Structure 1
Amino acid sequence: MTAVPLVDLTPWYAGGPAGRRQVATDVDRALCEAGFLLVTGHRVGTGVADRLCREVRQFFALPPARRARLACFSGGRGWVPPGVPAAVDPDGRGTPPDLRESFAFGAERVPVAVAGTAEEEWYGPNSWPVEVPGLRPAASAFAAACSALAQDLLRVAALALDLADDFFVARCSGETWTVDLERCPARQEVGTVAPGQLRVGPHTDVGTLTVSDRRPLTDGLQVRALDGGWVDVPSAPGALTVNAGDLLARWTGDRWRSTPHRVLPPPVEDPTEELLELAFSAEADPWTVVERLPTAAAGPTRYEPVTAGRFRRSRTDSMTVG
């Protein structure tokens, strides 16, 4: 793998079988080789993301004491302040704290299937800043648009693996998701950068698909290639970044890669560069049993069946929290 590919979804939405098959083939190749791709021709309007960027910048501009009212641990809902210890990276090494802060929210409505069970923990009320009343509606609109895109991509994934069109969407209803709005301050703000310290340390994502809007597009995002080296993720106007998570990789018997990725430290040559990323993470319904797929395309798997909720819990329990 030498580059993260760009896939135009326009033929998928045009509806022709040849165009849909080509999109599915391109997505399959990208997830096999890189685990990442950029998508254009999607239906997430730029105005939706632009509006959310404006609102969340107002939140991050609040005095620290006001943001602290919504403080939470990594993986929670609310404000994760700078300096929270990074999780152990995929190589098992501890890393210095990431040079970022974030605001997180997720699905609130509890599905009937999990009401009163342990899986209810994946749902619940979000915390919103009263000082930025426009954040909640802007964030909700972005989440809804990304959820619809994720459902479309899961149908693409089903075609790529010669599964029934609704195989994944029937098990990933769109009711379980999280959004992380991440800000990486400029070098002039963070000051000294410790050896090995990054804006975002090496990690993989937990769920099925992550859809990200990156600002600016040239943001230092890198993915680990098959040879162990790091490859820059390119940019394209209007494109969103999509990557497979650990659960989807497990589901496909590792046909598709959940690729370690990182974001480089703030550049010395541009001390005013600040990054903003809007990341939507789609999750399988927690009661879904993830097991060998009924298709030859995925091949055998070395994994035992597990529910999506139990898998997610095993990952969050291993996280380092602040």
Structure 2
Amino acid sequence: MSLPFVDVSPFLTKGTPPSPAKEASAKSLFDACHDVGFFYLTGHGIPKETCDLVLNTVRTWMLTATDEEKALIARKDAGVGEGDGARGYQRVGENVTGGKSLSRKQAIDLYATHPSAPSAPPYAPLHGQNLWPNTTFSTIFNSYIASILSLGAALMRCMAVALSLPEDHFEPFISPSFWVCRAIGYPPLTPQALAENPGGVGCGAHSDYGCWTFLLTDGTKGALKVEAKDGGWVDADPVEGCYVVNVGDMLMQWTNGLFKSTVHQVVHLGSNYRVSVPVFFEPSWDAKISPLETCVARTGGKALYGGVTYGEYLLGKVAGNFYTEGK
């Protein structure tokens, strides 16, 4: 198995008329999401210089920030100081995959502002403010995330055509997107770390729980593994000028299983410090998501999933993401 390619460029400009290029792009998206659940996205229009700046910003901070600087933006449980249970810096081993697998990575988690977020703590889960390392970091990331949100909207237009729906069908569900972004650093494996974790798993096997994941990584090869239909693992190595994009669980539910949310993991055995920046493009917090009728008709005529409000769904997922001493 190899990852297919999808060119999203015909959908970057909103409101353009139907065209053979759009039909070809939509067909390639349908095939990629139905058959694999992962693909390389081309024609996205985000400059290489922007991508390099984002990666270098993460790498520099992770490798040079002091313990005190990291502690200032550390993730805290909801109601504790600036904590909302999700936002902020996590040390190696704090993040949990699948409720059980401790991840060998550092990360800063960022979220869209909750529509009813108060202006000051204490914060309920996910209702807080992002904890930025510094103003330069926040300026670079806010600009980058805005670019990804435009790209995500373009991919939703492509998805609508792929499902024989009006091109603007999904707009009410994603305006605005309750996005999630992670700035991740995977330390190199020391002999001690390798002895403790022989497989070198940086992030355990899982599927993403949102809609689209737009993954930006450095040039490290052999780290991201995608589960094949035969149960084996296929490398999803970075390709110059492309994003690795995958379908999340929410999108699989939305399409009644027509699109596949594929299991993947990170096994970083290299001696370098790997940097990864996924942005998760999601519905609005209050969006009500149910299997699309057109997808139900194409998958046997029975809805396989019930309806859900996206924000409630996200809260349930995030609650099990972190390990706390004594729990």
TM-score, normalised with respect to structure 2: 0.85
Preserved contact between residue 12 and residue 19 of structure 1 (Cα < 8 Å): no
**1:308 matched to which residue of 2?**
310
3-state SS of paired residue (1:170): helix
Deviation at 1:65, TM superposition (A): 2.6
- Give the secondary-structure state (helix, strand or coil) at the position aligned to 2:133: coil
- Alpha-carbon spacing, 1:34–1:85, altered in 2? closer, same or farther (3 Å): same
Alignment partners' CA distance in 1, 2:184 and 2:131: 16
Helix, strand or coil at the partner of 1:28: helix
**1:187 equivalent in alignment to 2:189:** yes
Q: Deviations over 1:14-65 (max 9, x none)?
A: 8551110111110111111111111111122222222222222232121223
- The residue aligned with 1:84 is 94
Q: What secondary structure is seen at the aligned counterpart in 2 of 1:199?
A: strand
CA–CA distance in structure 2, aligned partners of residues 165 and 99 of structure 1: 41
| Partner residue in 1 for 2:80 | none
Kindly tell me: are residues 144 and 65 of structure 1, through their superposed partners in 2, closer, same or farther at Cα, counting changes over 3 Å? same
Identify which range, 178-187 or 79-88, moves more after superposition.
79-88
Structure 2 residue identity aligned to 1:215: D
Distance 1:139 1:3, change over 3 A: same
Aligned to 2:6: 7
Instruction: Provide the C-alpha distance between the structure 1 equivalents of 2:244 and 2:231, rounded to a whole number of angstroms.
Output: 21
Question: Deviations 1:104-162 (Å, cap 9, x if unpaired)?
Answer: 21212x44xx579xxx85453111224xx310100111100111100000111111111
Percentage of matched positions with identical amino acids: 25
Superposed counterparts of 1:136-155, under 5 Å = 136-155=138-157
Q: Find out whether 1:101 has 2:106 as its counterpart.
A: yes
1:159 aligns with 2:161: yes
Change (3 A) 1:275 1:219: farther
- Long gaps (5+) in structure 1: none
2:59 to 57, 60, 76: 57
Compared CA separation, residues 275 and 19, structure 1 to 2 (3 A): same
SS at match of 1:103: strand
Aligned length: 305
Q: Which runs of 5+ in 2 are unaligned?
A: 78-84, 119-123
Contact 1:289–1:308 under 8 Å retained in 2: yes
Secondary structure of the residue that 2:265 maps to in structure 1?
strand
For 2:265, the aligned partner's letter is: R
The residue that corresponds to 2:174 in the other structure is 172
Say if 1:99 and 1:265, in contact at 8 Å, map to a contact too. Answer: no
Runs (4+) off by over 6 Å: none
Cα-to-partner distance string for 1:179-227 (whole Å, 9 max, x where unaligned): 1010111224974342344011111111111101111152510111122
State how far apart, in whole Å, the 2-side matches of 1:123 and 1:297 are: 38
Q: Does 1:239 align with 2:251?
A: no
Q: Distance in 2 between matches of 1:26 and 1:215?
A: 26
- The amino acid that maps onto 1:227 is D
> How far apart are 1:231 and its partner, in Å?
1.2
Change (3 A) 1:98 1:319: closer
